[in-house]
Amino acid sequence: MSVELKTEKLSSEDYIELENRYGAHNYHPLDVVIRNASGVWVYDVEGRKYLDCLAAYSAVIQGHCHPKIMAAALEQAGRVTLTSRAFRNDQLPLLLRDLHELTGMEMALPMNSGAEAVETALKCARKWGYTVKGISERKAEIIACANNFHGRTISVISFSTEAQYRFAFGPFTPGFKIIPYGDIDALRAAITPDTCAFLVEPIQGEGGIVVPRDGYLREAEDICRAENVLLIADEIQSGLGRTGKLFAHEWEGIHPDIVTVGKALGGGYYPISAMLASRKIMDVFHPGDHGSTFGGNPMACAVARAALKVLAEENMIERSAVMGAYMMDQFRRFGSPDVRDVRGRGLWIGLEMKSEARPYIEKLKGEGVLCKETRDTVIRVSPPLIISREEIDWALERFARVL
């Protein structure tokens, strides 16, 4: 076996050819090969500079290679990185405390990916349904919304309405009902004595940056309380400041029973996610019920603690609200005949085009701006929250030329 360590002479085309030859084709990335990144900027292997308006699907809201998060990662890497949960470590308790103090949620169960956090919430809701609510064995139902995205595991795609996510992956996990997003009457009608939870994204991200009407989440919370149904808010992409508040559900002033977080929790350095809940809900888990070898590892916890700290210390949530309002207003002033709608909250903006979005994405790349399409016709704009007014204006000039 030959291993090439000196890759400095490879071109973008070389890297793309290697990836296509040896990697599974489960993504359709833009043909830009990034070698370096700092703040809101990334650089390809030829040295070309781009403004990152995707931020790794919100996983690097603190900016690329944030020095304080880097320092925490390097320090922890030299101490201990993994113990498994068979032993205790000195970082997990501190992260659990930090999450409680930041979010107000009493307890957390850390995992690695966002999909794992959702799976954890589903398992918790079902066990709560059986052991607390008293649902008959194997009868528990969870309600989800059409156009959702909660991951790509078998159980999660079982309640997806995206045909590609489900094609040739059946049989699917039973126990889920699908209702239209934003339809409060449909939620009310779908609940039965066997309903244990309602899983919802406060804003549908992969669905096209879809913001529900004002009052929808408050009404959903009232119904869940009245029917003794857990309200689960998936904040993996929308949480930790992306929308101009710590969590997107705070725009409605609600208090979900369970919140899932991920992506930005790792500061762009290390994968970590968590399910947050009250003690009475989390206490349905007993040793052996659920777990992960890497879940709650000291490396991830140290990084997450630094990621949360800089989020608060550098006022990134407030910046998202201010800069997002400015950027959205400027997009709406464009008056482009190709744009059907501009929507979003904070620095999470969707430009719905009247045709396929991919050609616009490719042209933006040529102008030095990196975005990604979602649901075919929507350009998602979600830069790191540290972006400045000058950098936004720089990006807007390029958007204006393309749109």
Active site residues: 149, 234, 263
In eight-state DSSP terms, residue 173 is: P
- Under a CB-based contact definition with an 8 Å cutoff, are residues 108 and 264 in contact? no
- Under a CB-based contact definition with an 8 Å cutoff, are residues 403 and 360 in contact? yes
The tokens of 283 are what?
A: 């206490």
In eight-state DSSP terms, residue 348 is: E
CA–CA dist 156, 122 (Å, integer): 9
Residue 380 phi/psi, 5-degree rounding, is -90, 130
Length of the chain (residues) = 403
Please state the separation of Cα 312 from the chain's center in Å. 19
- Under a CB-based contact definition with an 8 Å cutoff, are residues 374 and 358 in contact? no
Name the burial class of residue 320, with classes exposed (0-12), middle (13-18) and buried (19+) by CB atoms within 10 angstroms of its CB: buried
What is the residue-wise DSSP string for 202-251? SSBTTTTSBPPPTTHHHHHHHHHHHHT-EEEEE-TTTTTTTTSSSSGGGG
Three-class DSSP category at 93: helix
SS3 content of the chain, % helix, strand, coil (to 5): 40, 20, 45
Q: Which of 304, 288, 280 is nearest to 110 (CA)?
A: 304
CA–CA dist 275, 111 (Å, integer): 8
Three-class DSSP category at 64: strand
Residue 36 phi/psi, 5-degree rounding, is -135, 155
Q: Which of 199, 200, 173, 178 is nearest to 189 (CA)?
A: 178
Name the burial class of residue 345, with classes exposed (0-12), middle (13-18) and buried (19+) by CB atoms within 10 angstroms of its CB: buried
Report strand pairing: 339-345 vs 348-353. Answer: antiparallel
In eight-state DSSP terms, residue 73 is: H
